Structure 1
């Protein structure tokens, strides 16, 4: 990202709209803020930066441009078409004469005659819709349609979010760094390590503190990182006192140059409980190494239920309950998320009054990626032996039950500010209607979880959103789509801008748009087929 203030961005990437009969969506032309502004410039009012844009060029965000003295949204609005009754998607191809490949197509045509036979099968997303920020004007699109013969309305906008972050769930036992450690992107602090969850390390990235509370460079780097992460691109991060990471939504994380493969089946104690019966009769002792809770079969309740006799094993660490040990080693990238490479390092020895020569012992990690088999010699010292086939199968079963290691990216944002004024003249009615499920909130068509408590705090999985859903403005802030869908009657009752409602047919006929396919397995259709919407 390049720092900008009042000048236009140096990119000639306005689409050729001559092939479109309807032309681009045009906002009212802003009034010049200064008499010194050249006559061939227009002042963009789509964000507080207020770029002064030369004719034929775009502003700092690459989203708005000056076309013949008019302020226009460069990209077409994205419409989503749901599957037909047969469950088959109809593909679309560009109309001849549209913008060349690499630029946005202004229109699409149907490959099959019935591709868009019913405009009510289309949903207008916030992607490419434009914004009314920071003004009180109605949202760029307030669209009426029918769902199950019920009159519906969807209010669509691109929200400009300063209060937003990404929560990243990384499925791995690998040690990423101490909790609360700073996370850096290109040297700038952009987040921190937060509390680990079961089988996953968690990161908190972005947020208003890093976007606005630090230096200009910190804000720009935070914005760059967030936009890339939201758009499903790979992002390189470093953790103070910890690992180097490459994180990408839906992909396996790369930790210190090594691509992760497995998420653990459970903690060491859970693994004992799951596989105890499968180990029974094939070994006398099993130790499942884990950074948090290491399990010991002979002491564990699962072993006692199988009448497995004591082995006299003496473990390092702090004993919690029978067969469960904390702090057997430090966190790290070794066995079970610890810093050990030799599993015997966590065993102090065996009680000679209880153990016996020839005692069989399996030591494994929580993913099965590390496993060794030992037998005690006459001095009760563990000696490594070839893994018996029966035990090898149980280790493989552990790996079979481990899910693939993935990075999941969740966008979290407070939908406050003036975007609510684009929906209704009385924002509290919108908030209350969302809390009572009268209004369905989506982001780029993807279902959004609404956090409890005050405000409209949304959370959405970026993998469910269309590609390139996120943009930015150089204040800096993140731009993301948001849609509010409800019954038309409910919209009127909550004080909505009824005079600005347009039909979906009108949008299709008059506005630059691009249609993408909607797949039911991705998430529920935004307008829904639920009884509550009927």
Structure 2
């Protein structure tokens, strides 16, 4: 069904051009104009706010209809479908990426990257191969599975505050995910998921999941929070500033690890952290190294001995303290002595300042000594480089199993019992307990550029199931479709 654009209704807003997966629409004279590489995928018909884009009843002349997903692109000679996987070559649709057969030792016999699919899954998977490994006949079944139930968990190594938990994460003004619960030393984002993929902005959601998983740089905006430039394997850029260090621990943990070296150069240390601010002399670690409370009170809410809760903000250690002097709330001069030195720093030690208590209880900043600087540098040296990482998350508990065996439940059981090993793009996946096959995989261990998306919308992941031939027969595998690995590689 060819797409047509009603020029009378078109307002030239450009939304269709931005969303078109093939970049097959351009805006000319404030009107949308279709290009030759249009595949009638229908994205424009769904995103146009003025109903200017529609489909007629005729297939595009000279086009081949793709049946690899429900979209059914109509692809002209020399062009690819919306998913960028299949190209029309002399009237025949072929997978435009060579099947990746090289894998790690102990992995699948081949990967699913470049395999294509046999949608709608009632037929055997695209490749079912057999080989002998350590004297055992082994089978690997591969496919590229469109997964509506999918997303990506993004880990951002930073102490900076990016937004409240649960805050919406947007791309080009469209909601693509949310800020998740924070993990140790890192902020977490949850991008995608079935509800967002099937929502009104599902196309940009799918594209975002795939681009992050493929290691491309994306820019996201947290509601009432930061602008994030993220690329897996690289430092995060937060509000235009690259963050280079991941904290060594919370403020309390930093005190615990470095109490001995800090005690040698200062009388007190406040380690600023938006979760737990540490106070050296009051902390149990301070007692262990022979210190007693100095009389200094940090500007934070007390939790337990030497441990205080910080407040989120854009300041030092991800707190609301932007001037280090503000970290010192007060000094009890009935306990403190004039001349004592107080170090204020962060868990990453990227910022540090040294203060001295005066006879009247006031505090003034003094130059950093070489000994104190060495102690601060020691903390920094134990911090890791900040980077972005991601786990692709998906569920293959549905029809994708039918291409593996005639008894889908037995595929699930084989995976959960460890009788079949599931991998994604050659990388080992962690399968979550409970029903279905819900998995997570480190995108950096997957074959590069392994993910794509189809405008149903859903993401497409390469999936492999590897098991002994005997087990494959037992679960009702499609043994008639098995091919010898050597024959395939020829």
**TM-score interval for Structure 1 and Structure 2 normalised by the shorter chain:** 0.7 to 0.9
Q: Which residue in 2 is equivalent to 1:364?
A: 345
Q: Which residue in 2 is equivalent to 1:395?
A: 376
User: Matches of 1:417 and 1:10 in 2, distance apart?
Assistant: 36
Matched, 1:383 2:369: no
Question: Which secondary structure state, in structure 2, belongs to the residue aligned with residue 233 of structure 1?
Answer: coil
Q: Which residue in 1 is equivalent to 2:92?
A: 70
User: Matches of 2:282 and 2:356 in 1, distance apart?
Assistant: 18
Decide which of 448, 466, 472 is 1:491's aligned counterpart: 472
Mapping 1:12-411, distance limit 5 Å:
36-37=58-59, 40-80=62-102, 123-213=109-199, 215=200, 218-327=201-310, 330-411=311-392
Does the C-alpha gap of structure 1 residues 81 and 220 become closer, same or farther in structure 2, counting only changes over 3 Å? closer
Offset from partner CA, 1:174-227 (integer Å, 9 cap, x none): 0111111111111111000011111000000111111112x2xx1121122112
User: Matches of 1:472 and 1:316 in 2, distance apart?
Assistant: 49
8 Å contact kept, 1:142–1:154 = yes
Question: Mean Cα displacement is larger for which, 60-69 or 346-355?
Answer: 60-69
Does the C-alpha gap of structure 1 residues 269 and 48 become closer, same or farther in structure 2, counting only changes over 3 Å? same
Unaligned runs of 5+ in 2: 1-18, 23-33, 40-55
Does the C-alpha gap of structure 1 residues 121 and 295 become closer, same or farther in structure 2, counting only changes over 3 Å? closer
User: Matches of 1:156 and 1:370 in 2, distance apart?
Assistant: 51
User: Matches of 2:104 and 2:213 in 1, distance apart?
Assistant: 24
Deviation at 1:350, TM superposition (A): 1.1
Question: Which secondary structure state, in structure 2, belongs to the residue aligned with residue 453 of structure 1?
Answer: coil
8 Å contact kept, 1:12–1:56 = no
User: Matches of 1:492 and 1:121 in 2, distance apart?
Assistant: 20
Q: Which residue in 2 is equivalent to 1:423?
A: 404
TM-score by length of 2: 0.87
Does the C-alpha gap of structure 1 residues 343 and 52 become closer, same or farther in structure 2, counting only changes over 3 Å? same
Residue correspondences, number: 446
Question: Which secondary structure state, in structure 2, belongs to the residue aligned with residue 191 of structure 1?
Answer: strand
Question: Mean Cα displacement is larger for which, 43-52 or 426-435?
Answer: 43-52
Does the C-alpha gap of structure 1 residues 10 and 501 become closer, same or farther in structure 2, counting only changes over 3 Å? farther
Deviation at 1:273, TM superposition (A): 0.5
User: Matches of 1:81 and 1:268 in 2, distance apart?
Assistant: 43
TM-align CA RMSD: 2.3
Does the C-alpha gap of structure 1 residues 175 and 78 become closer, same or farther in structure 2, counting only changes over 3 Å? same
Offset from partner CA, 1:58-88 (integer Å, 9 cap, x none): 32222123334433222221111558xxxxx
Deviation at 1:56, TM superposition (A): 4.1
Deviation at 1:317, TM superposition (A): 2.7
Matched, 1:507 2:485: no
Deviation at 1:36, TM superposition (A): 4.8
Deviation at 1:387, TM superposition (A): 1.7
User: Matches of 1:455 and 1:192 in 2, distance apart?
Assistant: 24
Does the C-alpha gap of structure 1 residues 135 and 434 become closer, same or farther in structure 2, counting only changes over 3 Å? closer
Does the C-alpha gap of structure 1 residues 227 and 290 become closer, same or farther in structure 2, counting only changes over 3 Å? same
Offset from partner CA, 1:105-148 (integer Å, 9 cap, x none): xxxxxxxxxxxxxxx99932111101012230000000001211
Question: Which secondary structure state, in structure 2, belongs to the residue aligned with residue 196 of structure 1?
Answer: coil
